[in-house]
């Protein structure tokens, strides 16, 4: 019923001459910066890690797997469309200047473009991956679409569920590149003597864990940033259910965990003499996370949490960039 209530809600009056182009509005709603980050992650993972550790990760295979990247981008865009559709009331409180659904684009068109991008994402993946051998990839695409829909309608308002869903999907956007290289049979019966692939799988798992934890941190910071609008519309986010102080403790624990992980990894690579990568990790990944950990205690208003979220983004971006180092170090 919620979708029909949203579709029947009155449109915000907006002079026709001032309405921006619909496609430009869709471009904004797709979160182009986030899409660039996804594409950047895909390329770094493919060439930085894959091409050095696995023989199938070469340039010709990247051209074929470009369809997978397009699928991910289309699905992510569709998820952003539907999120803006269902978040219109909350955004009018938290981010009134960013509300475009109902003012710049009709609600019914948002639903249409969500469905169109979702269907195109599924179709594009079938071009590159035969269904019989790679049905696990197509199943993951369908599950992603459904999870993004239910995240927007239900999960994001539930205690912790929405945060975990987004964290899992972020980690999966890395893992799917790895699993797309193998048929389902190859995944179920791996070659235990393939040392290079085993090393690649371990590094993939590390980056997925890094992405999962930092996404949990960033989502909790966003919850604190948006607490007023979320509270008004009955959301049960971490800061609303627990309060700000326990949520800060929750974030602090995850920051300590991920920082300790990174420090241990640096100790592990010291024997290899990768001093530039160690310095890079200390300055561009560990330092921003420690900054967030220290400043968290004295942060109380939305602007404070927005700034801390930016530092987490810097750490995530720097972590993605570190994938490219393996092209030169391995």
Q: Evaluate whether 23 touches 105 at the Cβ level (below 8 Å).
A: no
Whether residue 8 is contained in a domain is answered as no
Position 56 scores a pLDDT of 55
Lowest mean pLDDT among 123-132, 150-159, 195-204: 195-204
* Residue 57 domain boundaries: 20-329
Give the Cα separation of 279 and 273 in Å (integer): 11
Whether residue 257 is contained in a domain is answered as yes
Whether residue 1 is contained in a domain is answered as no
User: What phi, psi does 301 have (nearest 5°)?
Assistant: -110, 170
Whether residue 13 is contained in a domain is answered as no
pTM of the full structure: 0.87
Whether residue 6 is contained in a domain is answered as no
Q: Evaluate whether 184 touches 135 at the Cβ level (below 8 Å).
A: yes
Closest by CA position to 113, among listed 153, 79, 140, 154: 79
What does pLDDT average to over the chain? 85
CA-atom Rg of the chain in angstroms: 21
Position 95 scores a pLDDT of 77
- The total domain count for the chain is 1
Is a pLDDT exceeding 60 seen at residue 295?
Answer: yes
Residue-wise pLDDT tens digits, 62-117: 566 788 889 999 999 999 999 989 888 787 777 777 778 877 888 889 999 999 99
Whether residue 298 is contained in a domain is answered as yes
Q: Which string of b and e fits 213-239 if b means at least 16 CB within 10 Å?
A: bbbbbbbbbbbbbbbebbeeeebebbb
Instruction: List Cβ neighbours of 318 (8 Å cut-off, separation of 6 or more).
Output: 280, 284, 285, 288
Q: Where does residue 277 fall: left (phi above 0), alpha (psi -120 to 50 degrees), or beta otherwise?
A: alpha
Residue-wise pLDDT tens digits, 304-319: 999 999 999 999 999 9
Whether residue 3 is contained in a domain is answered as no
Whether residue 9 is contained in a domain is answered as no
Residue-wise pLDDT tens digits, 217-251: 999 999 999 998 888 888 899 999 999 999 999 99
């Amino acid at each position: 019923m919620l979708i029909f209530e949203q579709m029947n809600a009155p449109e915000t009056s907006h002079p026709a001459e001032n309405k921006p182009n619909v496609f430009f509005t869709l471009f904004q709603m797709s979160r182009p910066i986030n899409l660039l980050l996804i594409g950047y992650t895909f390329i770094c993972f493919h060439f930085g890690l894959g091409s050095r550790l696995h023989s199938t990760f070469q340039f010709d295979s990247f051209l074929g797997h470009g369809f997978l990247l397009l699928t991910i981008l289309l699905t992510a865009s569709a998820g952003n469309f539907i999120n803006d559709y269902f978040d219109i009331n909350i955004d009018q409180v938290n981010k009134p200047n960013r509300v475009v659904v109902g003012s710049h684009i009709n609600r019914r068109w948002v639903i249409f473009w969500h469905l169109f991008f979702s269907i195109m994402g599924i179709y594009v993946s079938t071009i590159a991956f035969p269904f019989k051998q790679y049905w696990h990839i197509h199943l993951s695409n369908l599950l992603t679409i459904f999870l993004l829909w239910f995240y927007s309608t239900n999960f994001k308002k539930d205690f912790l569920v929405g945060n975990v869903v987004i964290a899992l999907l972020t980690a999966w956007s890395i893992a799917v590149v790895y699993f797309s290289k193998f048929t389902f049979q190859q995944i179920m019966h791996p070659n235990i003597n393939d040392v290079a692939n085993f090393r690649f799988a371990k590094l993939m798992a590390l980056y997925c864990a890094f992405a999962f934890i930092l996404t949990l941190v960033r989502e909790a910071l966003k919850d604190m940033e948006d607490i007023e609008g979320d509270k008004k519309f009955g959301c049960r986010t971490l800061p609303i259910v627990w309060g700000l102080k326990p949520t800060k403790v929750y974030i602090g624990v995850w920051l300590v965990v991920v920082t300790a992980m990174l420090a241990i990894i640096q100790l592990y690579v010291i024997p290899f003499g990768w001093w530039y990568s160690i310095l890079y990790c200390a300055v561009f990944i560990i330092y921003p996370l420690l900054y967030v950990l220290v400043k968290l205690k004295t942060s109380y208003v939305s602007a404070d949490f927005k700034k801390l979220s930016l530092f987490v983004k810097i750490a995530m971006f720097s972590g993605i960039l570190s994938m490219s180092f393996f092209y030169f170090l391995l």
